[in-house]
Structure 1
């Protein structure tokens, strides 16, 4: 019976479906026990990971028998894909399965940050009535959403935004101008400078690569419209976090929602300390009860099919 090692949390029903045909080692704590993990991989035929397991170096070398790696998510920066291919290992991401969760996160945080009225519960409960100070919140309809990256998640985010009356522009040099995504979505393709000049909300949807590292630099942040909201659900390292935090303190930016950081988790002296109108979450934008089922089911099926081929 072929063996599959699962190093991070996965929907139990998907794990059970794999156990029906394979010897499954499932332990969400394996990601933090490198010695045990490498030992389990020595005779494994398949590996399933999320974003914390670093599939490279000694860990990849231990996958001498493996032929497939399933990624419970879409980003592949924690997997040395080229080395996997050279080793004859197929890498399968859960493309599209968590897109709705991320898109809803972007729209939800944008609305919360523009309105600026949802952190007053304690004041109101204590008998205060900050009505005057909370009456200047901003609506999202009629504003411009700028998407850096226009793949599947960006396109779904655009669709939700348009339903709320937002105008959407996007910058994606990897997507040809004649691609049907532009005409079918009604989203305008613009340059990076044009996006920064127009957008009231900027959301990032690109992988972390040498070309996207520090894509949203301090210089570009300074060029944004006063009051702009910045949302990052892609990867840490794409945005200059310290520059965003500084712009928030100075009152130039209107808010920020960050789900990804460099490093993760944040360490002492985080640039975000003391910032107001900020939403910080621990890399869970794409993880909901529903998306976990979709992602887990997709990867369980794909890995099983690869191992049975």
Structure 2
């Protein structure tokens, strides 16, 4: 599913940077608000990847192809190999999450959910981000303090956010779905592509076949 999730994250980056979701929503209620949707190009911007597993690597490749620069913080990821992989494809390495948040226009999270990573994006760290920056979470819902994120969006401390994962699924925090600012919510569709589902089905079939072969030998 690495490619599928990376492509979703990339799509969310475009959608937030150009206000596509909000522009579509207002057009459907008969409003023509062209002047309200001044966005920015991704080319020349810095993407900050917090964590560098397979999904982050696929996203980095696509961002670099768009003319973006990519910074990586990988302490919670897969160790020295992840850092070497990041350097090899042209990413710069950051020694702290805080430094990366201050430097990048777009932040994408790619960490597992552990006690150390829970609410790694909190109120104090959101305040470090640039005023028009955006944050995307396609990894784990527990990585972000949702109420702190909403506060930052309402106060226009950051430019936008996109969430595909949540602390509890299906989403039950009405404060999130009722917010009408530059916040995109999707129902955990990172791996919802035909290709990924076929691949998963094939893998399951192969495992069942291997299991049955072992049983028959016994």
Q: 1:183 aligns with which of 77, 84, 87?
A: 87
- Matched-pair contact (CA < 8 Å) for 1:143–1:167: yes
Verify: 1:100 aligned to 2:42, yes or no.
no
**Which protein shows a greater Rg?**
1
TM-score of the superposition, structure 1-length normalised? Answer: 0.63
Tell me, in whole angstroms, the C-alpha distance in 1 between the residues paired with 2:124 and 2:83.
31
Verify: 1:242 aligned to 2:144, yes or no.
no
- Matched-pair contact (CA < 8 Å) for 2:136–2:161: yes
Listed one character per residue, the Cα deviations across residues 169-190 of structure 1 (whole Å, up to 9, x for unaligned) are 1111142178540332111121
Tell me, in whole angstroms, the C-alpha distance in 2 between the residues paired with 1:126 and 1:243.
30
Corresponding position of 1:205: 110
Tell me, in whole angstroms, the C-alpha distance in 2 between the residues paired with 1:271 and 1:122.
17
Task: Report how far residue 99 of structure 1 moved.
Answer: 0.6
- Matched-pair contact (CA < 8 Å) for 1:112–1:118: yes
Verify: 1:286 aligned to 2:208, yes or no.
no
Verify: 1:251 aligned to 2:153, yes or no.
no
Distance 1:118 1:284, change over 3 A: closer
Q: 1:113 aligns with which of 16, 23, 28?
A: 16
Name the stretch that deviates more: 183-192 or 150-159.
183-192
TM-score of the superposition, structure 2-length normalised? Answer: 0.88
Tell me, in whole angstroms, the C-alpha distance in 1 between the residues paired with 2:82 and 2:11.
31
Verify: 1:215 aligned to 2:117, yes or no.
no
Where in structure 2 are the equivalents of 1:6-45 lying within 5 Å? none
Can you give the 5+ residue segments of structure 2 that lack an aligned partner in the other structure? none
Aligned-residue RMSD, C-alpha: 2.1
Listed one character per residue, the Cα deviations across residues 1-32 of structure 1 (whole Å, up to 9, x for unaligned) are xxxxxxxxxxxxxxxxxxxxxxxxxxxxxxxx
Hey, which of these two has a bigger chunk of helix by percent? 2
Distance 1:129 1:155, change over 3 A: same
Where in structure 2 are the equivalents of 1:123-138 lying within 5 Å? 123-124=26-27, 128-134=31-37, 136-138=38-40
Number of residue pairs matched by the alignment: 211
Distance 1:170 1:264, change over 3 A: same
Distance 1:125 1:281, change over 3 A: closer
Tell me, in whole angstroms, the C-alpha distance in 2 between the residues paired with 1:306 and 1:196.
47
Tell me, in whole angstroms, the C-alpha distance in 2 between the residues paired with 1:126 and 1:272.
18
Q: 2:58 aligns with which of 143, 156, 162?
A: 156
- Matched-pair contact (CA < 8 Å) for 1:100–1:156: yes
Task: Report how far residue 222 of structure 1 moved.
Answer: 1.4
Corresponding position of 1:144: 46
Tell me, in whole angstroms, the C-alpha distance in 2 between the residues paired with 1:127 and 1:269.
26
- Matched-pair contact (CA < 8 Å) for 1:242–1:272: no
Can you give the 5+ residue segments of structure 1 that lack an aligned partner in the other structure? 1-97
Q: For 2:67, what is the secondary structure of its paired residue?
A: coil
Tell me, in whole angstroms, the C-alpha distance in 2 between the residues paired with 1:275 and 1:122.
10
